[in-house]
Amino acid sequence: MAQLSDSELQKLYTWIDEIPLSRPKRNISRDFADGVLVAEVVSHYFPRIVQLHNYSAANSTPQKLYNWNTLNGKVLKKLGWQIGKEDIGDIAVGKANAIERFLHALQFKMARFRAQGGTAPGGAPGQAQQGAPQAGRPAARPQGYGGGGSVSGAGTLAAGDGSGRQPAAAQPAAAAAPPPPPAAGGHPAAGGHPLAGGYDREALQREVDEEILVEKEQAISELREAVEILELKVGKLEQLVRLKDAKILKLQQQVAGGGGD
């Protein structure tokens, strides 16, 4: 994943600040390392595709990896996307900027998922969650990564900047729609906020169309391979049928010959 610019990082932190999460926000690399808050972020927009009880807070690396592998197979896969083991490992150990790059990509994948219809299990659209996260995950809205405080590249919360700006904790919850991704080239359009729709819609549509085309071509290739396998199986079954017919004919001849005696 590509490195993010300072402006992209600040917009990313502002977006996260506007989502009600179950933990105080102190250090983004540590807060998101076990995958629990990532599950809550996706659940905030598409509650039907996430079961929050599958993810428990973890301090040990093996449990963090377990949570991320579960997310990868059960949630990200539904968004048409999965991340590699190296990226999971970087996030789990809190490598600088690893979670920021992941969340930046997640914005795009969720926007694409909604553009494709956002169909969740059961055939119902993946509706955005209104208000707080699902039951059992009370919202905690202290100081955030952006807004009322400044954040370093590693995501460490610093004191407020004294600008008088309303702190993230007092800002309203995020809108129902997931944040649109950046415009073509991976950078937000000038003046565009990740939640304000200030991005190149035509470029986004082209990227979505290209990804859909690639996915369809992959699906066609997989179906062709499945057909070839089935044809081989059919050929083997036909061969077995011929062998059985030959045995039956031979037995019938033996029976007929014995009856003649």
173 and 253 in a single domain? The answer is no
Q: How many domains does the chain have?
A: 2
63 and 175 in a single domain? The answer is yes
Tell me, yes or no, whether 255 lies in a domain: yes
**Which value, in Å, is the radius of gyration of the alpha carbons in the chain?**
27
Between helices 85-92 and 61-74, what is the axis angle to 10°?
130
**51-60, 79-88, 132-141, 221-230: least confidently modelled range:** 132-141
Tell me, yes or no, whether 188 lies in a domain: yes
Scored b (16 or more CB within 10 A) or e, 105-135 reads bbbbbbbbbbbeebebeeeeebebbeebbbe
139 and 214 in a single domain? The answer is no
Alpha-carbon span 233 to 237, nearest angstrom: 6
pLDDT of residue 243: 92
pLDDT averaged over every residue in the chain: 73
**83-97, 161-175, 192-206, 244-258: least confidently modelled range:** 161-175
145 and 71 in a single domain? The answer is yes
pTM (predicted TM-score) = 0.51
139 and 257 in a single domain? The answer is no
Tell me, yes or no, whether 209 lies in a domain: yes
CATH classification of the domain holding 41: 1.10.418.10
190 and 242 in a single domain? The answer is no
121 and 48 in a single domain? The answer is yes
48 and 87 in a single domain? The answer is yes
130 and 209 in a single domain? The answer is no
Tell me, yes or no, whether 1 lies in a domain: no
Structural domain that includes position 245:
202-261
> For the chain, what is the HEC assignment?
CCCCCHHHHHHHHHHHHCCCECCCCCEHHHHCCCCHHHHHHHHHHCHHHCCHHHCCCCCCHHHHHHHHHHHHHHCHHHHCCCCCHHHHHHHHCCCCCHHHHHHHHHHHHHHHHHHCCCECCCCCECCCCCCCCCCCCCCECCCCCCCCCCECCCCEECCCCCCCCCCHHHCCCCCCCCCCCCCCCCCCCCCCCCCCCCCCHHHHHHHHHHHHHHHHHHHHHHHHHHHHHHHHHHHHHHHHHHHHHHHHHHHHHHHHHHHHC
Tell me, yes or no, whether 76 lies in a domain: yes
Does pLDDT of 88 surpass 90? yes
Q: Which among 180, 199, 218 is the end of a domain?
A: 199
225 and 250 in a single domain? The answer is yes
pLDDT of residue 36: 94
Q: Which among 177, 199, 221 is the end of a domain?
A: 199
Does pLDDT of 85 surpass 60? yes
58 and 184 in a single domain? The answer is yes
Written as six digits, the tokens of 72 are 């990868």
Written as six digits, the tokens of 51 are 């079961």
219 and 251 in a single domain? The answer is yes
Report yes or no: 4 and 12 within 8 Å, Cβ to Cβ. Answer: yes
- Span 109-153, pLDDT tens digits: 998 888 887 654 333 344 444 333 343 444 444 456 665 433 333
Tell me, yes or no, whether 60 lies in a domain: yes
Q: Which among 161, 176, 199 is the end of a domain?
A: 199
